[in-house]
């Protein structure tokens, strides 16, 4: 079997060996329940609190402000639904059309509950117009939710102004920081966000564990009940191995972020340069916009993305979010940026990570160029 070249790190990352090493004992010899009152339960609780401290250190908050969840989707649901439920006198919710489906689906649910939902458009660069945001923000706004970095295009949201204006209305601000944490300098105190969601498997930690940052004093109601775990906000037996892994991954992010960013940016540039040398008609989406260093979304003009992936079976890339890839529709993010359905169908997202090599990038360039030329030739026959 030919070697597989994985270029889809925004979808998920491998568990780092150091993370796995920390986790393993908590599956077997140290299998204890952190809620148990005996001394072995205390050891499990201590491990959980160490993980909490490590996550808090990464994003610049107090450990008591971290709630563990099963991942970003649950964190987003708890943040938005919990804040909306607690804000009885305000009904407004503002977000953008380019958010992850986890946010957009919750927004649709809020609308069904009678809340006033505003979906802000983005421009061709994937950015939100500040003046349009201000015209929709009001004293009736309960919560604003804007992602820190887009999972499909890598576009980084300049959150500071949006947060500052939201605070003037005494409204809450949530950010889906899933792709930003570990890749960008991300400090919740510096930013002033009230709520932030993150997930373990995006930062070389395990799947099935994540966290929600809740600023001290932020009103929020629980979405599940049954034991009062996590300050009563998220009941259920704690995933001790997962939390240990999330904490270890968070610590590694602090240590390795700059090194990782330098490497991935060089490889992204190598990929784009190599493709442009061979193909006259490719388009880098949001090319002039600040983006994640590891992410690039490329339109191969005249070559359908599904046909392209079918003709490059050893290269693992994405034509959209992994969470919606089973839905046969073009990317809502790319459509929101003004691409037609046909144009969006010609786009592939490349996201690079720890294990990507220059040789793999060069092989991917060769295979992609060959496939694009073959598809265009067949299409034009």
Give how far the C-alpha of residue 123 lies from the chain's centroid of Cα atoms, to the nearest Å: 20
- Starting from the edge strand earliest in sequence, which strands make up the sheet with 347-351, in order? 282-284, 295-300, 347-351
CB 134: neighbour CB atoms within 10 A? 13
More confident residue, 202 or 377: 202
Instruction: Assign 224 a pLDDT band (cuts: 50, 70, 90).
Output: confident
Contact 351, 294 (CB under 8 A): yes
pLDDT at position 118: 98
pLDDT at position 165: 98
Instruction: Assign 41 a pLDDT band (cuts: 50, 70, 90).
Output: very high
The CATH class of 17-253 is: alpha beta
Instruction: Assign 326 a pLDDT band (cuts: 50, 70, 90).
Output: low
Contact 289, 126 (CB under 8 A): yes
Is the pLDDT at 320 greater than 70, yes or no?
no
Is the pLDDT at 68 greater than 70, yes or no?
yes
Residues annotated catalytic, as ranges: 323
What whole-number distance in Å separates Cα of residue 364 and Cα of residue 297?
Answer: 15
Is the pLDDT at 225 greater than 70, yes or no?
yes
pLDDT at position 329: 73
Express each pLDDT in 341-370 by its tens digit: 999 999 999 999 999 999 999 999 999 999
Counts of helices then strands in the chain (DSSP H, E): 12, 12
Is the pLDDT at 324 greater than 90, yes or no?
no
SS3 120: strand
Express each pLDDT in 3-21 by its tens digit: 899 999 999 999 999 999 9
Classified by CATH at the fold level, domain 5-12+257-380 comes out as 3.90.1150
pTM of the full predicted structure?
0.94
SS3 195: strand
In angstroms, the Cα distances linking 74 to 70, 80, 97, 175, 313 are 6, 10, 20, 14, 33
When computed from its CA atoms, the radius of gyration of the chain, rounded to whole angstroms, is: 21
178's enclosing H/E stretch is none
Mean residue pLDDT of the chain comes to: 95
Express each pLDDT in 139-190 by its tens digit: 999 999 999 999 999 999 999 999 999 999 999 999 999 999 999 999 999 9
In angstroms, the Cα distances linking 196 to 140, 260, 332, 353 are 22, 23, 23, 23
Is the pLDDT at 227 greater than 80, yes or no?
no
Residue spans of the domains in the chain: they are 5-12+257-380, 17-253
Question: In terms of Cα–Cα distance, which of 254, 253, 229 is closest to 70?
Answer: 229
Pairing of strands 66-69, 210-214: antiparallel
Give how far the C-alpha of residue 166 lies from the chain's centroid of Cα atoms, to the nearest Å: 22
pLDDT at position 140: 95
Contact 177, 216 (CB under 8 A): no
Mean pLDDT of 336-340: 97
DSSP 8-state class, residue 184? B
DSSP 8-state class, residue 54? H
What whole-number distance in Å separates Cα of residue 143 and Cα of residue 163?
Answer: 11
Is the pLDDT at 321 greater than 70, yes or no?
no
What whole-number distance in Å separates Cα of residue 196 and Cα of residue 346?
Answer: 33
Please tell me the chain's helix, strand, coil percentages from 3-state DSSP, rounded to the nearest 5: 45, 15, 40
Alpha helices in the chain (DSSP H): 17-23, 39-59, 72-86, 101-112, 130-136, 159-168, 188-191, 240-278, 305-310, 332-336, 341-344, 358-380
Contact 146, 133 (CB under 8 A): no
Express each pLDDT in 86-130 by its tens digit: 987 899 999 999 999 999 999 999 999 999 999 999 999 999 999
Give how far the C-alpha of residue 240 lies from the chain's centroid of Cα atoms, to the nearest Å: 23
């Amino acid at each position: 079997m030919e070697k597989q070249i994985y270029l889809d790190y925004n979808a998920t990352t491998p568990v780092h060996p150091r993370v796995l090493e920390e986790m393993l004992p908590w599956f077997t010899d140290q299998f204890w329940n952190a809620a148990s009152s005996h001394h072995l339960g205390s050891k499990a609780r201590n491990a959980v609190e160490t993980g909490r401290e490590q996550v808090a250190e990464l994003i610049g908050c107090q450990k008591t402000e971290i709630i563990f969840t099963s991942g970003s989707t649950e964190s987003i649901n708890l943040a938005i639904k919990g804040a909306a439920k607690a804000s009885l006198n305000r009904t407004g919710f503002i977000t953008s059309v380019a958010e992850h489906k986890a946010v957009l689906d919750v927004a649709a649910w809020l609308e069904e509950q009678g809340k006033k939902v505003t979906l802000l458009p983005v421009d061709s660069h994937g950015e939100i117009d500040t003046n349009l945001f201000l015209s929709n923000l009001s004293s009736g706004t309960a919560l604003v939710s804007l992602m820190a970095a887009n999972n499909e295009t890598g576009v980084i949201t300049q959150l500071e102004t949006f947060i500052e204006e939201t605070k003037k209305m005494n409204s809450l601000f949530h950010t889906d920081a899933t792709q930003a944490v570990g890749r960008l300098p991300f400090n919740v105190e510096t930013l002033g966000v009230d709520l932030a969601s993150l997930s373990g498997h995006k930062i070389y930690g395990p799947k099935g564990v994540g966290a929600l940052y809740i600023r001290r004093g932020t009103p929020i109601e629980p979405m599940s009940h049954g034991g009062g775990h996590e300050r009563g906000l998220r009941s259920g037996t704690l995933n001790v191995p997962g939390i240990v892994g999330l904490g270890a991954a968070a610590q590694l992010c602090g240590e390795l972020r700059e090194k990782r960013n330098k490497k991935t940016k060089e490889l992204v540039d190598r990929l784009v340069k190599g493709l442009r040398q061979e193909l006259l008609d490719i388009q880098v989406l949001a090319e002039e916009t600040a983006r994640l260093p590891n992410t690039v979304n490329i339109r191969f003009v005249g070559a359908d993305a599904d046909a392209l992936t079918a003709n490059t079976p050893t290269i693992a890339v994405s034509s959209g979010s992994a969470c919606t890839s089973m839905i046969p529709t073009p990317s809502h993010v790319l459509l929101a940026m003004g691409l037609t359905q046909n144009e969006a169908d010609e786009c592939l997202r490349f996201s690079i990570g720890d294990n990507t090599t220059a040789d793999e990038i060069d092989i991917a360039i060769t295979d992609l160029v060959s496939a694009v030329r073959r598809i265009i030739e067949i299409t034009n026959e």
